[in-house]
Amino acid sequence: MSTVDPVASSTAAATSKKANQLNQQDFMQLMVTQFRNQDPFKPLDSSQFLGQLAQFSTVSGIADMQSSLATLVSSLQSDRMLSGSSLVGHEVLVPATKGVIGTQGTLRGAVDVPEGTQQVVVNVLDSSGQLVRRFTAPATAGTMDFEWDGTREDGTRVAAGQYKIEAHGVTGSSTESLNVLLADRVESVTLDAKTQSLVLNTYSQGTVSLATVRRIS
C-alpha cells in the first residue's frame, strides 16, 4: 500500500499554484512575443493589452501600498509600546470611585470642582457603605487634591482593603456630586487588540485606557 507524503503534496500544490499564476513580468513577455509573431495583415489590438497591463499595475500598486501600510502600523505599534513602557512604575490620576489602601501608606486623589462651588466634602466609605472618614474644605475651582492617611475619625488605622470615595460640592443650600479621580500605580502596559490603543494595567483599578489619564507623576 503506497503512502502520500503530506509535506511533498503541499509543496507540489504550492509550486503548481505559483506556476499557474501570471504576474506582471510574465504578461509583458507574453505581449512582446505576440507582437513579434503577429500577422502583419491582421495586427493585434494593442489597447486590450494596455488595458490589462494597467490592471496589473493597479493590483501591484495596491499590494505595495498594503505592504507599506502594514509596515507603518507595525512601526507605530512598536513606538506606542516603547513610549507606554516608560509609564511603568509611575502613578497616574484616573477617574475612579474605589481605591485600595494597605496596612501602611495613603490614598491620594482629586476632585473636579466647578466654578462657584463654595465647599467640597469627601467621604470615605467601607464595603458595607458605612462612613469611615469625612473631609471638608473650602472649594478651589479646578482639580482639587486630597489625601487620606488610612485612619478613621478617631485616628485608628482601618483594615487594608478597598474603600469607596464620594465627593460633593456645596453651593449655598444646594449640593451636587463631583467627579472623583484616584491615583494608581502602573504595573504594565498592553495594546488593545481591536483599537490598538494603549492600555495601562494598574495596581488598584485594573485596566485603564491611556486616554482617561488626567495626570502622570
Query: Domain with 127 in it: what CATH number?
Result: 2.60.40.4070
The DSSP symbol for 159 reads: P
The whole-chain average pLDDT of the chain stands at 80
Cell numbers placing 132: 469611615
Q: Is residue 202 part of a domain?
A: yes
Q: Is residue 34 part of a domain?
A: no
174-177 and 198-202 as β-strands: parallel, antiparallel, unpaired? unpaired
Q: What is the pLDDT of residues 75-87, one digit of tens each?
A: 555 566 667 788 8
How many folded domains does the chain comprise? 1
Predicted pLDDT of residue 84: 73
Cell numbers placing 12: 507540489
Q: Is residue 198 part of a domain?
A: yes
pTM of the model: 0.64
Q: What is the pLDDT of residues 136-161, one digit of tens each?
A: 999 999 999 999 999 999 999 999 99
CA distances from 11 to 14, 15, 21 (A): 5, 6, 16
| 16 band by pLDDT with thresholds 50, 70 and 90 | very low
Q: Is residue 150 part of a domain?
A: yes
Q: Is residue 15 part of a domain?
A: no
Q: Are 187 and 84 in contact (CB under 8 A)?
A: no
Q: Is residue 58 part of a domain?
A: no
Domain coverage including residue 177? 91-216
**Three-state secondary-structure class, residue 18:** helix
Q: Is residue 212 part of a domain?
A: yes
| 5 band by pLDDT with thresholds 50, 70 and 90 | low
Q: Is residue 45 part of a domain?
A: no
Q: Please give the residue that has the higher pLDDT: either 190 or 114.
A: 114
